[in-house]
A and B are shown apart, each in its own frame.
Chain A
Amino acid sequence: MSDILLTPAEAQALWLSLKIGFAGALLSLPFGLLVAWLLSRKDFPGKFALDLIVHLPLVMPPVVTGYLLLLTFGSRGLLGEWMQETLGLTIAFNWKGAALAAAIMGFPLLVRALRLSFDAVDRKLEQAARTLGATQWDVFRSVTLPLIMPGLLTGLLLAFARGLGEFGATITFVANIPGETQTLPIALYSALQSPGGEIRALRLLVLSVALAIGALAASEIFAARMRRRIFGAGTERTT
Chain B
Amino acid sequence: MNTTLSVEIKRQIENFTLDVAFNAPPGVTGIIGRSGAGKTMTLQAIAGLSRPESARITLGSDIFTDTGRNIFVGPEKRHIGYVFQEARLFPHVTVADNLDYGLARRGPDTPIPREEVIGLLGLRHLLDRRPHGLSGGEAQRVAIGRALLSAPRLLLMDEPLANLDIARRREVMPFLEALHEKLHLPIIFVSHNMEEVVRLADRVVVFDGGRVTAKGDMAEVLNRVDVQNLILGESGDDGLGTILNARVESHDDAENLTELAGNGFNLFVQRLPQPAGASVRLRLRARDVTIATAVPHGLSVQNVIEGNIEALEEAGKGQVDVSIRTREGETLLHALVTGRAARLLNLETGMPVWGLIKTVAIAGSASENRMTDLDR
Q: Which residues of A contact B (CB under 8 A)?
A: 122, 124-125, 127-135, 138, 142-143, 146-147, 229-232, 236-239
Contact = CB atoms under 8 A, between A and B. Distances in A.
Contacts of B52: none
Contacts of A146: 92-93
A131 B151 CA distance: 11
B106 A133 contact: yes
A125 B90 contact: yes
Given A132-B146, A133-B102, A138-B105, A231 B128 contact: no
B88 A124 contact: yes
A135 B129 contact: no
A230 B80 CA distance: 27
Contact of A238 (B49, B94, B102): B94
B167 to A, nearest CB: 22
A127 B147 CA distance: 13
A130 B75 contact: yes
Contacts of A229: 92
A34 B84 CA distance: 30
B128 A239 contact: yes
A131 B90 contact: no
Task: Tell me whether chain A's interface is mostly helix, strand or loop, or mixed.
Answer: helix
Interface string B79-111: 111101010101111100000011001100000
Interface of B: 47-49, 74-76, 78-82, 84, 86, 88, 90-94, 101-102, 105-106, 128-130, 132-133, 146-147, 150-151
Contacts of A124: 84, 86, 88
B133 A133 contact: no
B105 A231 contact: no
B129 A239 contact: yes
Contacts of B86: 124
Given A124-B84, A131-B82, A132-B102, A232 B132 contact: yes
B74 A231 contact: no
A109 B128 CA distance: 37
30 contacts: A124-B84, A125-B90, A125-B91, A127-B75, A130-B49, A130-B76, A131-B47, A131-B49, A131-B80, A132-B102, A132-B147, A132-B150, A133-B76, A133-B79, A133-B102, A133-B105, A133-B150, A133-B151, A134-B76, A134-B105, A135-B74, A138-B76, A143-B92, A146-B92, A147-B91, A147-B92, A229-B92, A238-B130, A239-B128, A239-B133
Contacts of A132: 76, 101-102, 105-106, 146-147, 150
Contacts of B47: 131
A128 B105 contact: no
A125 B88 contact: yes
A234 B102 CA distance: 28
Contact of B128 (A128, A232, A236, A238): A238
A146 B101 CA distance: 14
